[in-house]
Structure 1
Amino acid sequence: MRCSSRALRRLAGGALSLLLTAGVLPGLARPAAGDQTLPADDGARIKAETWIDSRTVDLTVTTPAIGDDEMIRVIVPPGWSPTASRTWPVVYAYQGGNDDYLSWVRGSQISDLAAQWGVLVVMPSGGKSGGFSDWWNYGKGGTPKWETFHTTEVLQLLERNYHAGTRRAALGVSSGGQGAIAYAARHRGMFTYAASFSGLLHISSAPIQWTLMLQGVTFNSDPFAVWGVPGFDDANWKAHDPYELADKLRGTELYISSGTTGLPGPLDDPSKTPPDSNLYGATGELIVGSTAKDFVARLQRLGIPATTHLYGDGWHNWNYWRRELATEWPLMMKALGAEKV
């Protein structure tokens, strides 16, 4: 059967129109006007979407909580469609400090794992030193409000526009691990499951407070802006501390892992990394490991079950977090009721 050139042009135009409507043309940055997507309650909106491939999209979000545009990487499950009549369970994966919203994609196998399951994976920006909190700002509040961004704006935008469901998991590395556990405790019932890989899980202990103060100075930021001045604003520190909030995690499935010694482990090669990276990896894991031990001991005293892997030697890096993700992922999928595809 032969087609005229006019028919071919009409067919090609129709196919392009379908792709544009579906929003799955790889590499296309498509403005998301207010009448095309639903905003969050506070006016946060999807400003643009860029489809990287048929299942991966970057969202540019205008967010009052942060006061600027922020990015979200979303991996949609096989079978997802913008016109679907169903929802999917969601993994909200949070970055570590001094990183960005693509850290999970660069550092781990999360894209390959997501391709095998009927689950959305949502990776929002967390800022270079966001603290996974609405900043204290000496009691004045105001921006940035990272907790509001993550637990209100991002959830509402994904649920209203991308078929994200209400069975949710929070997953984080390093400071993102602290955020995942704190969010699950501060918003009871929001997350069915929460996991921390090398997270800082006892932030209100005095040694950790002053370590974070030093870190703030190192990153050239105000060390008192996030949670306040140690000794004076301890109530606010405790209000965001997974250790202090542990009793609110009853009923949430938990996975906690960390190195504890600061010594190189089987996945480290000190000869192939710069000395400053070795020092950061060693001291960082020693510090977070001490808080993980505190947190796990508190869970045990409270009788709250958790899957834990305090693996001793090993530095603060993706070599270990990839390993932990491989172990943790099936547990998370089971908790979410996700289906393998």
Structure 2
Amino acid sequence: MVQAGAGTPSRRTMTRRPRRPVSRTMPTVATAAVIAGALLPLTATTGTADAATLAKADDGASIAAYKWLNKTKTAFDITVESPALGAQRKVRVLLPKGYRFSSPKAWPVVYAYHGGNDSYVSWTRSSDIQSVASKWGVMVVMPEGANGSYTNWFNYGKGGTPRWEDFHMKEVRQLVERNYHAGASRAVMGISSGAEGACTYAGRYPGEFRFAACFSGVLSMSLPGIPALLMYTNTKPGVDPNAIWGIPRVDQANWDAHDPVKLLSKVRGTRFYVSAGNGTPGPFDKPGTAPWDIGYLSEKAVNPTVQDFAKRARQLHIPITAHMYGPGRHSWPYWKREMHTAWPQIMKAIGAKPVR
């Protein structure tokens, strides 16, 4: 979906290899540390990780660079060399209070996905997730999703890049678990197309997530008008929308294989929180906003898909909270509120504890 109020994805910047270590920062793994299972720190605020020092993903994806974002060293960006995408892409990571690279402790983790026309910086730029997460013993991982629709592109049955699902569910997950102590107690959260991705992954990877929070996503892809809407919103310069899931009806099996509502029967051990407005003026909207505003139209379109998803989940006796909050458009003020509402449920599901 087109996300109202989305920022422009930041340009990828090059980072230089530090000349000589001088202070404690990110982890490297020396030969002895590999044997001992410990992580030792790299030492520059911004640097390039030697491929031999950090564990790789199964497909060879590696951490090519990192950058601290604050003096307290609780937030950093990593650059992933991704075979699944055939390019480098970034991931933002928030660390909990008391985190130690040298400690083997595994932390509960929330994977947070952004919406269309945005980037991995979306959550920290447009919400207070950093402040909220800092009060809990939890990691937050926010990977780049671009306009990839959170799927391995069909490409007319030929497959190949981009494989966004593999990037998120294999490369990123394995890299943060193997190098930064992200644990197996996982939750996933998303807004707009990221919400669709969160609910899709929960169905395609049974048992991987204990909780999925999905705000204003298309959660039922075959409702009348929805395939055409998805094709329209994915039509961008240089992008063939038929390459994503295939041609509607012609490649229906692939559409069905990525439809959140049709994947509910495969869900195992995941609780859901889903929400949407109805696309009419709400408390966070500017007075006088035209009724044909893209934020109103988008929310009006996703609303019935969220209701259909919730109905099917209840039929299958899957634990779900559905907050259909009435007036509101497809925009961050509502998603920020929904994050605050869902957050205690997420923390309880993954066993994260408050910190002082």
- From 17, 34, 40, the equivalent of 2:57 is 40
Partner of 2:34: none
Paired residue secondary structure (2:54): coil
Higher helix proportion (structure 1 or 2) = 1
Q: CA deviation at 1:269?
A: 1.2
1:257·1:310 contact (CA, 8 Å) conserved in 2? Answer: yes
Letter matched to residue 290 of structure 1: P
Give the alignment of 1:188-337 within 5 angstroms: 188-218=206-236, 220-259=238-277, 261-271=278-288, 279-337=293-351
Q: CA deviation at 1:339?
A: 1.2
Q: Does residue 1:18 correspond to 2:61, yes or no?
A: no
Q: CA deviation at 1:262?
A: 1.3
CA distance in 2, matches of 1:75, 1:162: 11
Q: Any idea what the Cα deviations from partners look like across 1:203-242, whole Å, max 9, x if unmatched?
A: 1334111111122225552110110001100110010001
Letter matched to residue 22 of structure 1: P
**Greater gyration radius:** 1
Q: CA deviation at 1:303?
A: 2.2
Partner of 1:102: 121
**% identical aligned pairs:** 48
What stretches of structure 1 of length at least 5 have no aligned partner? 1-13
Partner of 1:137: 155
Q: CA deviation at 1:250?
A: 4.4
1:227·1:236 contact (CA, 8 Å) conserved in 2? Answer: yes
TM-score by length of 2: 0.86
2:209·2:269 contact (CA, 8 Å) conserved in 1? Answer: no
Q: CA deviation at 1:290?
A: 1.4
CA distance in 2, matches of 1:219, 1:171: 28
Q: CA deviation at 1:313?
A: 1.1
TM-score by length of 1: 0.90
Give the alignment of 1:51-66 within 5 angstroms: 51-53=68-70, 54-66=73-85
Letter matched to residue 203 of structure 1: M
Q: CA deviation at 1:336?
A: 0.5
Partner of 2:103: 84
CA distance in 2, matches of 1:63, 1:218: 23
CA distance in 1, matches of 2:91, 2:252: 32
Number of residues of Structure 1 aligned to a counterpart in Structure 2:
321
Letter matched to residue 54 of structure 2: T
Q: CA deviation at 1:23?
A: 4.5
CA distance in 1, matches of 2:237, 2:314: 35
CA distance in 2, matches of 1:18, 1:210: 52
